[in-house]
Structure 1
């Protein structure tokens, strides 16, 4: 059974939460934010569209040390991880030790305000460093407004020498 992650029911549901939460906090769709006007309507097609999008989307859950529970293909590629590795990785592991305090501050601010904008440096599985500009992180909530974790999106990034 060689299913793509976007075909899994859990991933389809997470995709819906990521997208509806972005719209809740920022007042427009995530696809619209990136100038994409042709958005699928079927849940599985939307899941595929986000997974194959040309921007990075990742989210983590509500654990004390949050573990990633979603990363689209572009996120997997940039962090040099397989889906299986990604969904077992604490999100803090993608930030260097020097960036941990700023990451903690950003996530706390997001928890309080609903979303935040950020620019930061992250690190891949093999230790490559990259700079993110103009990222957005937001609280993922369900239909009852229950906190389900946080998600981030960005397309403006470059690897550092």
Structure 2
């Protein structure tokens, strides 16, 4: 059974509006700009993000963080279903040889709050490798200021 917080974004669950609001608010606070350049209403933000032409993903706070959000573009790029992707430890989005670099990135984001212009190699379910370019990775903090995971946004990638 899939937990409600990991249900596929759809009209019935308002496209996971609460989680999208968390990602969007943290992005705006840390970077001073909107996650989606357009200005959709709060009710439409989650749907707009899910269907956006760029990738947005996030992972949780587990000891081995797993993805807990991916928009449609991310699911297409990585080649996973929602159910598969939201059970995937986020470290497995990078090949073992690139996981140390990824770990350094996430540690730096934890310290600074965000990192922009990140570049790194990732791997799709099919084994196809791609280079993400100019990615923004940021911390997610809940309304009490407690760490709630990390998210990433990028719109440039190159298949290798």
TM-score norm. by structure 2 comes to 0.90
Structure 1 position 41, deviation (Å): 1.0
In structure 2, stretches of 5+ residues that fail to align are 1-6
Structure 1 position 95, deviation (Å): 0.2
Answer yes or no: is 1:30 the counterpart of 2:39.
no
Counterpart CA distance in 2 for 1:11 and 1:91 is: 19
TM-score norm. by structure 1 comes to 0.90
Report 1:7-86 matches (<5 A).
7=11, 8=13, 11-32=16-37, 37=38, 39-43=39-43, 45-86=44-85
Query: Is the 2:129–2:159 Cα contact (8 Å) retained in structure 1?
Result: yes
Q: What SS does the aligned partner of 1:31 have?
A: coil
In structure 1, stretches of 5+ residues that fail to align are none
User: Deviations 1:15-58 (Å, cap 9, x if unpaired)?
Assistant: 010100100110111113xxxx3x22133x21110000000000
Counterpart CA distance in 1 for 2:29 and 2:10 is: 22
Runs of 4+ in 1 over 3 A off after TM superposition: none
Aligned length: 152
> What does residue 144 of structure 1 align with?
144
> What does residue 102 of structure 1 align with?
101
